[in-house]
Structure 1
Amino acid sequence: MSSNNGYELSDNFYNDLTTKYNEALNSEHILFNGDSVINEIVELPIDNNKHFANAQLTLLTSLMHRPENNNKGNNENNPFEKPEPELTILDNFGSNKELKLVFNKFPVNAKHFLLITKKFSSQNLPLLPTELLATYNILNKINKLKPEGEEWFAFYNCGPESGASQAHKHIQFMTLPPKNKFKSYPEVCLENKLFKKDNNNNLNILDATKPLQNQDLPFSQFLIKLPENKEELTEEILTKSFTSLLQSTLTILRNNSINHISYNFIMTTEFMLMIPRSKSKYQDKLGINSCGVYGLLLCKNQELFDMVKEVGVLNILKEVCVPNSSDITFDEYSY
C-alpha cells in the first residue's frame, strides 16, 4: 500500500487499545455497563426468503446517558475539542498529525473508539482521501492483531439526518457480533452475488466505479467490494470507490426530493457500503445511525426493544432510508 507515511500503527496497537480501555473503564472515565446488555439475533429475508442475513437487536440502558443528536453543525458542547487524557489512545495520527484516536465515553460495546480531526471539521462533510486511508489502515492493522473470531468495522454518520450525535467529524470503530451468529446483508449479498446485473446481464463485482445494488431490500444501498490483494489498496482506489458511492447517493437523494445530504457509510477491509437517509429517527422515537442501517439496532429501553421486534427491522429501515433504487440506471451524468 502506498502513501502510508503517518498512518502506520505499531504491532502493540491492539494490546495498548485493550489495556487503555480497561483502565478507562475501571476509573469510570468510560461509562459502559456490559452486564446489562441484552442482545437478540433475528433473521432478515433478502430475496423472497431464499437467502437470509441477520440483524441484532441490543437493549443497552447506559445509552440513556449519552447526549443525543447534537449534530447542529457548530462547535458548541464539543467533547472532541479537548478529549479527556484517559480517553486518548493516540494523540498524533496522519501524515500531518491532524487526527487522533479516542475512546467513545458511552461505548456500545467494549473497545469502541473514534478517529477524530484535531481541528473542528463538520460531520456534514464527506470523508477526505487521507481520512479514508487512515480508516482502512486502522481496520487492516486490527485485523492482523485481533484474536480469532473478533470482527471489526468502521462507520461514519454524515449529515443532519444520519443519526450523528456530534457535529465534530468523527469515524467510529466497533466490533461486530460473533460471526457464527451474525452475517450482515452486504456479506450475504456478496457471497451469493445478489445484485442487479447490467443491461448485458453481466455482473462485475470488482468494478470500483459502479456500486452494486441488491434489488430486494426495501431501501437504497450502494456497495463496492475492495480488492482482495490488500497490497493493491491505495489512497486513490479508496477515494475512487468512496466517490462512486457518494455520486450514487447524491443522485438518489435528489431524485427523491430530499433537501438535505445525509447518509451512512460503513467500511470493512472487504467492502464499502453507503446508505442514503431520509430521516434520523423512526416515528420520532428510535434513533438510527450507521449501526442501525447495517442491522445493529440499539435500543435504550424495553419499549423501543419491543417495538423493533413488533414492527420488524426491514420495515424500520424502509421508513428512515430511501426507497430501493436498483431500477434506476446511473451514468456519467448522474448528479
Structure 2
Amino acid sequence: MAIHTKYIFSPISFLSSHLSSAHESVMSTLRDRVEQKTQIAIKSQDALYFESQSELFSYDGVDFQLTICPALLKKPSNPPPGVNGETIDSRAKRQRNESSEATSQKDVFAPPYNENLFVEDIGDSHVLLLNKYMVTLNHFLLATKDFVPQTSPLLPSDLLLARKIILEYKKTGQSLLSFFNCGEKSGASQPHKHIQFIPLGESLPIEKLANQLQIDNESKFFSIDNFPFANFGMKLSTLANAPSEDELEAELANRFMTLLDAQADTYRRLEQGPPSPPFSYNVLMTHDYLFLIPRSKESVSIEAANGLEGWNKSLNSLDYAGLMLLRRSEEKLGISNPLEVLLQASFPKVHIPEPVYQVDSQLIQ
C-alpha cells in the first residue's frame, strides 16, 4: 500500500532535519527526497523527462542559455510550456471556463495526488509535487492544497515558503530558481496557484547582470539597464540576518510590495496609458535576488527565416531569466535579437524619478 509521508512545516522541522522521530533513521534532505522521487516517477513514466542540449548565446552584453529540446515537436497530449498546439494561454482560459465540477476533475494539482509525483505536504496549506513534464531534472512545484487562482498575487506566506525551500537547498550546495507566472499573459501553464522550482547549474543570466550593479540600499528597487523592457529587482542578502520567522516573512512581503508599487508606477507613466486589470507579471526568486517583470501578452510571433516557418513562442518567467526553450536549433535564427522578442511581450522602460518605496508591513498582513 502506498504511503504519503507528511512533514509538518515549521522553522525547526523544515529547516533542520525536517523529520519526525519515526524517520530519524532515514536522514534525508528535501533535495534528496525530490531527486529520489524524480527517478521513481521517470521510471514509472508518471513524469516525462525530455532530453535537451543547451548552449550559451550572447546579445548586446546579455547572456542567454538556449535549450534545444527536439522532443517538444512530438506534441504530447498535454504538452509542456512553449509547445505549439493548444497554447498555455488558451489551455488556462479553457479550464477556467469549464464548470466547477469539470474543473475539479481536471485540476492536476488537486488531490488525490499521483503517488509518484507527490513529494510531501507542507503544513495544512501547501503541497510539494513534481512537475509532470521536465526539461530540467528535479523540477518541482509548491501548490496550494485548496484551489486558488494563478491570477492571485503571492501572499507573504507563499514568499516565506519559497524562501525556506531555497535556503534548505542552499545548505546542500545546490542553488534553486523559484518562479511564479501570475496572470493570463504571464505564460502560466495551469490555473491552480503554484510556484515552480528548478536547480541551477551556473549563475542565472539575469543574476549575472544584477551582480554587476552597485546596490548600497536594499530598501530601493533597481532595474537592469541592459534590458529594454520594464524590470524591477531587489537584493535579499540581508534577509539572512532576520532574527525571527515573522520578521523574515514581513521583509519578503515588504520587498515584493515594493516591486508591485514600481510596476504600478510604470503603468501610470506609459505613453499608451495603463493596461486593464487584472495585471500579469513574472516573479523570480533566487538566494540573492527577487525580480518582477510586468507582462503585456503571453506569446509573440516569430517570423519565418531561412526556410523555417514562423511560429508563436509562449514566454514565461524562465525566458526573462535568460533561459529560453526552443524545439530545434534552427529556431535560433528567429530569435537573433532575444531582447526584442522579450520586449514584445512586456512593457518599455519609463523613467521613475525616485525609485524608493517603503511599505509598512502592517499594511500587507
TM-score tier by shorter-chain length is 0.7 to 0.9
Distance (whole Å) between structure 1 residues aligned to residue 13 and residue 351 of structure 2: 39
Gaps of at least 5 residues in structure 1 are 46-51, 194-202
Q: Report the 3-state secondary structure (helix = DSSP H, G, I; strand = E; otherwise coil) of the residue aligned with 2:260.
A: helix
Distance (whole Å) between structure 1 residues aligned to residue 169 and residue 294 of structure 2: 28
Match of 2:285 among 263, 267, 281: 267
Match of 2:178 among 144, 154, 161: 154
Task: Letter of the 2:192 partner, please give it.
Answer: H
Task: Letter of the 1:105 partner, please give it.
Answer: K
User: Does residue 54 of structure 1 match 2:63?
Assistant: yes
Q: Report the 3-state secondary structure (helix = DSSP H, G, I; strand = E; otherwise coil) of the residue aligned with 1:258.
A: coil
Q: Which residue of 2 aligns with 1:49?
A: none
Residues 30, 332 of structure 1: CA spacing in aligned structure 2 closer, same or farther, 3 A cutoff?
Answer: closer
Give the CA deviation at 1:282.
1.4
Give the CA deviation at 1:321.
1.1
Task: Letter of the 2:347 partner, please give it.
Answer: V
Give the CA deviation at 1:8.
3.9
Report which of the two structures shows the higher radius of gyration computed on alpha carbons.
2
TM alignment of 1:1-335, pairs within 5 A: 4=11, 7-8=14-15, 10=18, 11-34=28-51, 37-45=52-60, 52-63=61-72, 64-65=75-76, 66=79, 68-69=87-88, 70-72=91-93, 74=96, 76=103, 77-82=106-111, 83-90=113-120, 92-94=121-123, 97-146=124-173, 150-176=174-200, 178-179=201-202, 183-193=204-214, 204-207=216-219, 210-228=220-238, 230-232=240-242, 234-256=248-270, 257-260=274-277, 261-283=279-301, 285-302=312-329, 304-308=331-335, 310=336, 312-330=337-355
Higher helix share: 2
Task: Letter of the 2:205 partner, please give it.
Answer: S
Distance (whole Å) between structure 2 residues aligned to residue 31 and residue 332 of structure 1: 43
Give the CA deviation at 1:108.
2.3
How many percent of aligned residue pairs carry the same amino acid?
A: 27
Distance (whole Å) between structure 2 residues aligned to residue 324 and residue 186 of structure 1: 19
Distance (whole Å) between structure 2 residues aligned to residue 118 and residue 258 of structure 1: 31
Distance (whole Å) between structure 2 residues aligned to residue 100 and residue 241 of structure 1: 25
Task: Letter of the 2:345 partner, please give it.
Answer: V
Task: Letter of the 2:110 partner, please give it.
Answer: E
Give the CA deviation at 1:326.
4.1
Task: Letter of the 2:199 partner, please give it.
Answer: T
The CA deviation string for residues 167-197 of structure 1, in whole angstroms up to 9 with x for no partner, is 0000000123x32xx552333233343xxxx
Task: Letter of the 1:175 partner, please give it.
Answer: P
TM-score (norm 2): 0.76
Give the CA deviation at 1:254.
4.4
Q: Which residue of 1 aligns with 2:25?
A: none
Gaps of at least 5 residues in structure 2 are 1-9, 19-27, 81-86, 302-310, 360-365
Give the CA deviation at 1:252.
2.0
RMSD: 2.5
Give the CA deviation at 1:7.
4.9
Task: Letter of the 1:4 partner, please give it.
Answer: P
